[in-house]
Copies of this chain bind each other. A is one copy, B any other.
Amino acid sequence: VDEGRSIIVVSNRGPVTYHGGHGEPRTARRGGGGLVTALASLVTRHNVTWIASAMTEEDRAVAAEYGPEGLREQTKDGASYRLRLVAHDRAAYDWYYNVVANPMLWFLQHYLWDLVRRPTHERGGLEHAWREGYVPVNAGFAEAVVEELKRDPEAIVFFHDYHLYLAPRLVRNAVPSASLMHFVHIPWVAPDYWHVLPVEIRHAIHDGLLANDVVSFHTERWRRNFLRAAEDITGGPRADTTIAWAGGRTFVSAHPISVDTAEFDELRSHPGVLEHERQIVATRPEFLVLRVDRTDPSKNVVRGFVAFELMLELHPELHGRATMLALLDPSRQDIPEYAEYLGAIQREARRVNDHFQQPGWIPIDLQIDDDFHKSVAAYKQYDALLVNAIFDGLNLVAKEAPLVNERDGVLILSENAGAWDELGRWSLEINPFDVHAQADAIYRALVMAPDERRCRLEGLRAQVRERDQEAWIRAQLADLDGAVAARSDRPPAA
């Protein structure tokens, strides 16, 4: 059955946040973002209860007001779902979010730690944040899930991402028959790199995920790393697809998430997009090299600027004719590593501009804000799109931008982005550490023959349209059904 199933979605950030209070009326702000977009069709076709953290003060008021009953909400397409917000202890949430999840797990799962110097786990800070933050917040989520399963024992539970590694084991212990699946949206790293964490923590993470019937990743590469890490860290058996652990079985799969192509078909002529596009067209030089990212160290913005500088050095004929437009959404500025990286981005842009800038031409046009309509306008106008992430679970920009581009723009894609598996053949592949190769790729993109440009862009579009988000949801549910069926057929070896 492809319709009408009961599904409990569990993610740290929900699809809506509430604002207002203090005498102001309550307003709901519907978020965008990969997860919410990807799950839109899930909400449309199935009976969804969404459990998420209360993020704002008004979220907490909603959580207190509606309690375990939750409230009905709608996606921006009008599909209805039930929302249950969990109000965690504020200190616990701070440890969970600002110490364990970001930066510790995020940095670890993108190979970003400068291991000679950091982390140091000094004064037991990590263990404390784990015990008093990550564990109780996960327990709070698990408790809500268990209550929901009492209400509807047949419901499927669908966990998301690196905030919730412990919840599946807690739910499994309370409800052994539950149907649990987990999608990890970021890379899984090799077993050695998990050694950045003390043994108890890295073991608990793998054990927690292995309480699911299905664990899924964007690409075969992260899937394979998970199988290997589970083997090494739990001491469990080597497995190709299904890991037997702690009396259960976990099917491990890879399905890249997709984008809502219809949304982008509409967005291209949205008035807000058109207004930004007019501004870009009025000021753009002959060649526009675009990047759209959060200011996350994993995105490799600084090396991208150095590569653009090197390209200008090697090709003076492009001075005044090529600009790199960097639309950067400031990210996680509560966390020192992120604040520092934003400083490094600004310093590097300044340095490159001081090197080449002349009246009428700013080589790097750095714009730090969060304006999706402007991003879509820039998607339409680029001649080359640089996605040079150090490591990236997938990278949605690489899928979104080609859908609306109108200049046969060329995608330059990191071999360490999950999207490379699907899109690599139509992209210019680059190694994210190789600034020289990135400079060459930018130049090659700008001077590429029209036929080749068009052919590559059409290939990208066809690929993105073919593997859409409905296909992703169907594949996830099929994995779960298969895993649950296998469980009842063959009792696991104890």
Question: Which one of B111, B112, B193, B199 lies within 8 Å of A431 (CB-CB)?
Answer: B199
Interface members, chain A 431-446 (any B CB < 8 Å): 431, 433-437
Residues of chain A touching chain B, judged by Cβ–Cβ distance below 8 Å, are 111-112, 114-117, 119-127, 189-193, 195-199, 221, 224-225, 228, 232, 297, 302-303, 306, 310, 341, 390-391, 415-416, 431, 433-437
Contact status B415-A310, CB under 8 Å: no
Shortest C-beta distance, A345 to chain B (Å), equals 11
Shortest C-beta distance, A294 to chain B (Å), equals 14
Given the complex, which residues of B lie within 8 Å of A415, measured CB to CB? 195, 199
Given the complex, which residues of B lie within 8 Å of A114, measured CB to CB? 114-117
Q: How far is the CA of A196 from the CA of B414 in the complex (A)?
A: 12
Given the complex, which residues of B lie within 8 Å of A127, measured CB to CB? 436
Contact status B198-A431, CB under 8 Å: yes
Q: How far is the CA of A341 from the CA of B127 in the complex (A)?
A: 28
Contact status A123-B433, CB under 8 Å: no
Contact status A193-B196, CB under 8 Å: no
A114-B115, A121-B431, A126-B434 given; 14 more Cβ-contact pairs under 8 Å: A114-B114, A114-B116, A114-B117, A115-B433, A116-B297, A116-B390, A120-B303, A120-B434, A121-B437, A123-B436, A189-B190, A192-B225, A193-B193, A198-B434
Known: A111-B115, A115-B111. A435 touches B120 (CB 8 A): yes
Contact status A120-B306, CB under 8 Å: yes
Contact status B310-A111, CB under 8 Å: no
Question: Which one of B192, B198, B297, B416 lies within 8 Å of A195 (CB-CB)?
Answer: B416
Given the complex, which residues of B lie within 8 Å of A197, measured CB to CB? 431
Shortest C-beta distance, A313 to chain B (Å), equals 9
Shortest C-beta distance, A175 to chain B (Å), equals 34
Shortest C-beta distance, A9 to chain B (Å), equals 30
Shortest C-beta distance, A474 to chain B (Å), equals 29
Given the complex, which residues of B lie within 8 Å of A120, measured CB to CB? 303, 306, 433-435
Contact status A115-B390, CB under 8 Å: yes
10 smallest beta-carbon distances between A and B, as pairs: A190-B190, A114-B114, A121-B434, A116-B297, A124-B436, A120-B435, A122-B435, A198-B431, A190-B192, A119-B433
Contact status A116-B341, CB under 8 Å: yes
Q: How far is the CA of A422 from the CA of B416 in the complex (A)?
A: 35
Q: How far is the CA of A97 from the CA of B189 in the complex (A)?
A: 30
Give A299's nearest chain B residue, CB to CB: B116
Given the complex, which residues of B lie within 8 Å of A435, measured CB to CB? 120-123
Q: How far is the CA of A470 from the CA of B119 in the complex (A)?
A: 40
Q: How far is the CA of A221 from the CA of B235 in the complex (A)?
A: 13
Shortest C-beta distance, A261 to chain B (Å), equals 30
Given the complex, which residues of B lie within 8 Å of A126, measured CB to CB? 434
Q: How far is the CA of A199 from the CA of B420 in the complex (A)?
A: 14
